[in-house]
Amino acid sequence: MNGTVRLDVDFNLCARDGLCARECPFGLIEVDAEGLPSLRRAAEKMCIGCGHCVAICPRAALSLNGISASSLPAVERHALPEPESVTLLLKSRRSIRAYKPEPLDRREIEALLNVARFAPSAVNSQPVHWAASLEPARTRELAGMTVDWMRSVPDMPYKGWITAWDQGQDRILHGAPHLVLAHAPESARWGQVDCATAVAWMEILAAANGFGACWAGIFTRAAQHWAPLKAALNLPEGHVVQGGLMLGRPAVRYARVPERHPLRLHWL
């Protein structure tokens, strides 16, 4: 954490079960002869603020950096979906490339992002930031800037996409009303993976909520390379777009799960 880290223990609530000490990924909690936990000095440098110590305590006896367990949402185990439901959701999710013109409202997009922010990140660094277009006209403008980039690249393999755009067809963002981008500081060690993970969560959540989404790979490339587009996105200094999604209300429904490669696995 490289700063002050504080673990407060409510001695009346603590069951002296050592769960928090066992759970700390870096072994930064010690337990005294009476079974009471406290932070080791190394925590100042090594605590990643993952909150596992607080989250695992069944008695809500701990606070980390002033955030008490009792202020955190409880895990309602009975409300979790059955494995079959999750499997069905994952297999039936499809990349959506046809959208109804009605946009989502700001709260619907924020609600998805407010779950995606719980995606895992390397050493709990949480480097992911989001940028999103609310207005369909703005989304279209950004798609157009991707086409500008395509026109600027000699031997661009996507010539057909440029022709399609000129004929009124958007093969970049497929007429989606929104674009949602995950960006991170260039210096973030696992920035690309952390952003991709969060975007994948976002796509699944969109499907779970009956929305449509599709990875915007071409747009992401353009956002990494085309200065006018980078400028239009107005990201913080040193940030890079590492992934993004088209988003909207689907105008299509899939009746079947298409086949994929069989499992390729070798045991180690």
In the structure encoding, which two tokens stand for residue 71, read together? Answer: 């202020």
Whether 206 contacts 132, CB under 8 Å: no
Binding of ligand FMN by 207 (CB under 6 A): no
User: Which residue lies nearer to ligand FMN by CB, 62 or 213?
Assistant: 213
| Alpha helix (H) residue ranges in the chain | 19-23, 43-46, 52-56, 83-92, 106-116, 136-152, 159-166, 191-208, 217-225, 227-233
Number of residues that bind ligand FMN (CB under 6 A): 8
Cβ-proximal residues to 79 (8 Å cutoff; 6+ apart), any chain: none
Which of 218, 235, 241, 245: binder of ligand FMN (CB under 6 A)? 218
Binding of ligand FMN by 217 (CB under 6 A): yes
Beta bridge partners of 179: 246
Q: What is the largest CA-CA distance in the chain?
A: 76
CB of 95 to ligand FMN, least distance (A): 4
> Which residue number places its CB atom closest to ligand FMN?
217
User: Which residue lies nearer to ligand FMN by CB, 45 or 100?
Assistant: 100
Binding of ligand FMN by 164 (CB under 6 A): no
Binding of ligand FMN by 213 (CB under 6 A): no
> What angle (nearest 5°) sits at the alpha carbon of residue 201, between those of residues 235 and 112?
70
User: Which residue lies nearer to ligand FMN by CB, 57 or 206?
Assistant: 206
Whether 242 contacts 196, CB under 8 Å: yes
Name which of residues 65 to 104 contact ligand FMN (CB under 6 A).
94-95, 97
Binding of ligand FMN by 222 (CB under 6 A): no
Binding of ligand FMN by 40 (CB under 6 A): no
Stretch that binds ligand FMN, among 11-19, 114-122, 181-189, 208-216 (CB under 6 A): 208-216
CB of 116 to ligand FMN, least distance (A): 15
Exposure string of 224-241, with b = 16+ CB inside 10 Å and e = fewer, is: eebeebbeebebeeebbb
Beta bridge partners of 7: 64
Binding of ligand FMN by 228 (CB under 6 A): no
User: Which residue lies nearer to ligand FMN by CB, 9 or 147?
Assistant: 147
Alpha-carbon distance of 19 to 216, in angstroms, equals 43
CB of 257 to ligand FMN, least distance (A): 9
Contacting residues toward ligand FMN, per CB under 6 A:
94-95, 97, 214-218
